[in-house]
Amino acid sequence: MANLSLRAKSLIALAIACVVVLLPASWLGWLAMQSVQRHFGEAYAQNLALLNRERLLAPVRTDLALSLRLAASPITQRWIEHDQNPALRELFFAEAETYRQALHDRAYFLVSDESLHYYFNSEAEPTSITPRYQLDRNDPADEWYFRVAGSELPYQININTDQQLGLTRVWINVPIRNAEGHTLGLAGSSLDLSRFLSSLGEQAADGITPILARADGAIQAHPDRDRIAFNTAAHEVTAGHSLAGLVPASEQPDLQQALEAARNDPLGVTLTSLTVDGVDQIVAITYIPDLDWFGFTALDLRSAHVISPYGFWLAVAGLALLLASLLSIFGYGVERLVLRPIRQLQQSARALAAGNYHVSLPSQADEIGDLSRSFGEMARRVEQHTRELEDRVRHRTRELEAANLAMAQSQTKISQSIEYAALIQSAILPDRQLAQAFGANHFVIWQPRDVVGGDFYVFYESHDVWLLGLVDCAGHGVPGALMTMLVKAALDRVIQECRLENPAELLQHVDQVMRAMLANSHLPRGLATNAEAGLLLADKAKRQLRYAGARIPLYTSDGQEVQEYRGDKRALCDRRVGKYHNIDLPLCTNTTYYLTTDGFLDQAGGEQGFGFGSSRFRRMLQANANLPLAQQAHGFKAALAAYQGSQPQRDDITLLAFRFNVN
């Protein structure tokens, strides 16, 4: 956006303004269209439901009335009780033929309960007075008859496939009962709903799903024949063949409420919204009392073209054309009235940036003209200030060159002083004494954070008694190095005055000497002057060790386990005064001893930037304890560098490791 021209930005601004206006208008228009579409969709579904009900009801009503009359006929009842009487047989079939001519599909059937003979006649073949087949009580295909005959209902209507006749039709089953109410048989007619089902399929192609279902929900007609519940008189209705299986469980109460409302209003249509086969649809439900059936018409507004969407898209195209025209007219006006004089002003500004202060500017009586005159005045002032600044820059440059030279000389002196201090600090470290005492059985990792640091280590020897120690003074760099000199002086003084037999007493005296040294010093309150220390006394003759620590622990490892001996929690010269205690342990030749400052343990690294930590340190000691000490030193450095990664060194790092070789 920042690289676009002013013209492009103006056109974008206008387009955004138009869109801001058109979007709500389009949204409101879309909502209105949706409302109108839903209104017409509901009306369409309602009319279609009524139409389907009448289209089905007309033939069914006629055939039901004729089937009831046929079952109630005295001739039918007399003959079915004596179906072997030739005279009654001829009389019945003559009367049944008159009924057949009046039936919608010219087909009727009759079953005798006594003989279980099944009679069927239709216009597809000549009238037969002999049974087509005999029902079998043990045949599951004939179970429908015994259910209907045993029911107390005046009639039943279901879709069934007669396997003997090879016909799938809607069967109207009417029990034939005598005056005492005993069932003598069954009479009725059949309807071929192929034309009606074909029309259902055509409606479904337009996003409409018309369905017929019994009062118990069994689907009797559906565009998808796999959904129809065939032979419901003999089998239970499954969920996949009922209205309940069309909608989710959460909407079952809404479905039942709509069905009950339709039952209470048999002349009207009940409208509701349900999720049918996973799609939100408008549902129109009618009730057919004559059949005790429900007409269920589902309409999907997204698929059914109730209202043509072409009008909406035509309006959208008109709005887009109007927007394009507005943008074209606005772009031309911006070009003539604004961009051309601004472009001239831009060329003058470029000339001014190149050092040409004598430029020609556009002149016109509007805001751009005022801008041009102000720009000309600015150019004159810039020229004047440029000359003045050039003089000042030359003068300041000479001053900065002199200051840089002096600063470089001072930096050289400071660097030389720090390097000399590092040399002095290295001189007080007992590397030569440790090499003579331990040889290859020791190593020291000493890594100050800066050139000089606040960590140092000591070694004192008196006959068969050795004293090894590690001290971590507060601070880094030069302040930390000065603290090491102070603590080293205090420790040397105490060693001269006391015997090497009680490390805790030595730490106690060092603490007192440091407090005495700093008692008369006027130091800032926030300046830290404390130090952490650890002293290990080794009596080779007695093969005993005695350790005392001021917040520095002693680690030992025999190659199998790592032991940690914690010192006291109070540092030297701490605010609180306390005592230090000794820890006695045997001197073992197969054990490696380690002293480390907290710089190793607190070094940040890893994925989360946490400190190295004592647990990881102990695992590192145990993994390398059986190696020669030179290899251990290399492994420890590599482990710390790998964990540290790109993190900076936080503190001075010192690690002292040694083994005793006592003959």
φ and ψ of 160, to 5 deg: -150, 155
- Please check whether residues 320 and 257 belong to one and the same domain: no
Question: In the prediction, which pLDDT does 242 show?
Answer: 82
- Please check whether residues 327 and 362 belong to one and the same domain: no
pLDDT at 173 > cutoff 80: yes
pLDDT at 198 > cutoff 70: no
Interatomic CA distance for residues 383 and 643, integer angstroms: 59
- Please check whether residues 268 and 378 belong to one and the same domain: no
Interatomic CA distance for residues 378 and 517, integer angstroms: 69
Q: Which residue has the higher pLDDT, 1 or 152?
A: 152
- Please check whether residues 473 and 403 belong to one and the same domain: no
In a domain, 630, yes or no: yes
In a domain, 168, yes or no: yes
In a domain, 187, yes or no: yes
- Please check whether residues 579 and 641 belong to one and the same domain: yes
In a domain, 227, yes or no: no
User: How do residues 356-392 score in pLDDT, each as one tens digit?
Assistant: 666 666 666 666 666 766 766 677 777 777 778 878 8
In a domain, 3, yes or no: no
Interatomic CA distance for residues 186 and 68, integer angstroms: 10
pTM: 0.44
Interatomic CA distance for residues 298 and 210, integer angstroms: 6
Looking at residue 580, which CATH number applies to its domain?
A: 3.60.40.10
Interatomic CA distance for residues 658 and 110, integer angstroms: 114
Query: Taking residues 453-465, what's their average pLDDT?
Result: 91
3-state class (DSSP) for residue 307: coil
| H or E stretch at 285 | strand 279-288
- Please check whether residues 345 and 395 belong to one and the same domain: no
Question: In the prediction, which pLDDT does 76 show?
Answer: 87
Range with the lowest mean pLDDT among 16-25, 462-471, 606-615? Answer: 16-25
- Residue ending a domain, among 398, 427, 456, is 427
- Please check whether residues 421 and 438 belong to one and the same domain: no
Range with the lowest mean pLDDT among 206-220, 303-317, 471-485, 527-541? Answer: 303-317
φ and ψ of 478, to 5 deg: -65, -45
Query: Taking residues 501-509, what's their average pLDDT?
Result: 93
Torsion of CA 98, 99, 103, 105, to 10 degrees: -70
pLDDT at 401 > cutoff 90: no
- Please check whether residues 338 and 414 belong to one and the same domain: no
Question: 236 - beta bridge partners?
Answer: none
Structure token digits, residue 512: 């007192």
pLDDT at 657 > cutoff 70: yes
User: How do residues 299-328 score in pLDDT, each as one tens digit?
Assistant: 777 766 655 556 556 666 777 777 777 767
Question: In the prediction, which pLDDT does 522 show?
Answer: 64
- Please check whether residues 324 and 421 belong to one and the same domain: no
In a domain, 1, yes or no: no
Q: 233 falls in which pLDDT band (50, 70, 90)?
A: low
Give yes or no for a contact between 627 and 554, defined as CB atoms under 8 angstroms apart.
Answer: no
Interatomic CA distance for residues 506 and 485, integer angstroms: 17
Q: Which domain holds residue 647?
A: 429-659
- Please check whether residues 247 and 289 belong to one and the same domain: yes
- Please check whether residues 586 and 462 belong to one and the same domain: yes
pLDDT at 147 > cutoff 70: yes
> What is the tally of structural domains in the chain?
5
Looking at residue 99, which CATH number applies to its domain?
A: 3.30.450.20
Structure token digits, residue 651: 């503190």
In a domain, 265, yes or no: yes
- Please check whether residues 465 and 600 belong to one and the same domain: yes
In a domain, 47, yes or no: yes
Structure token digits, residue 257: 């409420």
Question: In the prediction, which pLDDT does 12 show?
Answer: 76
Give yes or no for a contact between 435 and 406, defined as CB atoms under 8 angstroms apart.
Answer: no
